[in-house]
Structure 1
């Protein structure tokens, strides 16, 4: 369950009110009595108050949960406050008790402008939280392709693995986020990355009955011959979980690949050679194509029972 802000007293916020994204995934449960003056000003977006406090107070001071004012401003989406804190030399890579940076809190709240300010000032996109997740893992879980693209522009590690061995692509596959997976694959994410149990994204998609995701992974040359630590292949994952259409798709793909390989080894037939010599109608044998990524996610439900990213 994703936490939202809670207060002992309800107050009207000034003009810097958080956008709707912070309500969805800010990730902090806060009580005013537990916050110092600097943190309170950052929470409500009171820039004028914060500027006064910054003259006599350390803007990098930590609360009981090791959060800075920058953490809270980023979680809340207060762009002007974030800009002021960065200009005032706030430390960008300090981490809270969950080992999450201000950038990660901006990611969770989907506050792109806050992210841009941090990244342009060299915030590290590859810090990891207590579960080994980077900012890109968090984005893949949301999902938000535009935020992922922003992180990748600033050298986020596309194949970083968390403690489960999941890369951002594995997370996108597990959650059946096809658009996110397609973006990552297009940026050269490893389609055959293995988690700590030696499961590939193809195995996960097959086990969950995600036929659209399977088509996408196969288009990007996912290896159907890989086996996990128990010796199970993607085809076996599909059959074991009752996803017959997924099993058929994998088997057909393997057959097509084998047929294509056999044809290439044989070389052109005599008939084909004659036609290549001068016929304007070259009846070249059609190659096998898997087509574009499918988007019919509703055809087969994602029955994944695996846990979500730690909040």
Structure 2
């Protein structure tokens, strides 16, 4: 007998084989989403090829897209996110390195007024934070509420990220709203 109805809801298949700290990427037919409060809710249909490659951490595909100029390195999706925003939020340092080496803009804001550095700090992606800071990302830019990357690191209680931000001249006196 064939099963025609299911009451379990949509099933999801993990994109990555290992889940970092219980926050991994999940994919169904319509959504690529990060299961955390800090990450982005990402809808597959809203993404260009370069954004999909960044979300999935596919360095080879990202390289092909950039070489063939299918998308620009700073192209934005519907939420004004660049591939760098998405790579930082999903924790793909290899993609972040590739984008930074190709001279992408490091300090662009998305629709929520966050930069890739803020998103990497918010999602506790220390390797991405390190790459961005070493290549000149500004740790003192503020979001819509006046929060800097240092504010996000303090909320996340990540001492090593706080230390890196302070070593790169983050303003310890910065005030938010």
TM range (shorter): 0.7 to 0.9
Aligned to 1:238: none
Aligned with 2:121 (options 93, 104, 107): 107
Aligned to 1:129: 143
Aligned with 1:29 (options 1, 20, 41): 41
Q: Which has the larger radius of gyration?
A: 1
Query: In structure 2, how many angstroms separate the alpha carbons of the residues matched to 1:103 and 1:110?
Result: 10
Tell me which stretches of 4 or more aligned residues in structure 1 moved more than 2 Å: 8-15, 17-27
CA deviations 1:187-211 (Å, max 9, x no partner) are: xxxxxxxxxxxxxxxxxxxxxxxxx
- Contact 1:25–1:108 (CA under 8 A) maintained in structure 2: no
Aligned to 1:19: 20
CA deviations 1:250-273 (Å, max 9, x no partner) are: xxxxxxxxxxxxxxxxxxxxxxxx
Root-mean-square deviation (CA, aligned residues, Å) is 1.9
- Contact 2:39–2:90 (CA under 8 A) maintained in structure 1: no
The 1:35–1:10 alpha-carbon spacing in structure 2 relative to 1, beyond 3 Å, is farther
Aligned to 1:90: 104
Query: In structure 2, how many angstroms separate the alpha carbons of the residues matched to 1:102 and 1:23?
Result: 18
Query: In structure 2, how many angstroms separate the alpha carbons of the residues matched to 1:116 and 1:146?
Result: 10
Query: In structure 2, how many angstroms separate the alpha carbons of the residues matched to 1:26 and 1:40?
Result: 19
CA deviations 1:159-187 (Å, max 9, x no partner) are: 10112xxxxxxxxxxxxxxxxxxxxxxxx
Aligned to 1:38: 50
| Displacement after TM superposition at 1:145 (Å) | 1.3
In the superposition, the TM-score normalised over structure 1's length comes to: 0.47
1:298-309 maps to which residues of 2 (within 5 A)? none
Relative to its length, the structure with more strand (as a share) is: 2
- Contact 2:140–2:149 (CA under 8 A) maintained in structure 1: yes
The 1:160–1:120 alpha-carbon spacing in structure 2 relative to 1, beyond 3 Å, is same
Aligned to 2:176: 162
Q: Which runs of 5+ in 1 are unaligned?
A: 1-7, 164-311
Query: In structure 1, how many angstroms separate the alpha carbons of the residues matched to 2:81 and 2:142?
Result: 16
CA deviations 1:66-87 (Å, max 9, x no partner) are: 1000000000000101110100
Relative to its length, the structure with more helix (as a share) is: 1
1:77-226 maps to which residues of 2 (within 5 A)? 77-163=91-177
Query: In structure 1, how many angstroms separate the alpha carbons of the residues matched to 2:108 and 2:20?
Result: 24
Query: In structure 2, how many angstroms separate the alpha carbons of the residues matched to 1:34 and 1:98?
Result: 16
CA deviations 1:10-33 (Å, max 9, x no partner) are: 455357x77336644443111101
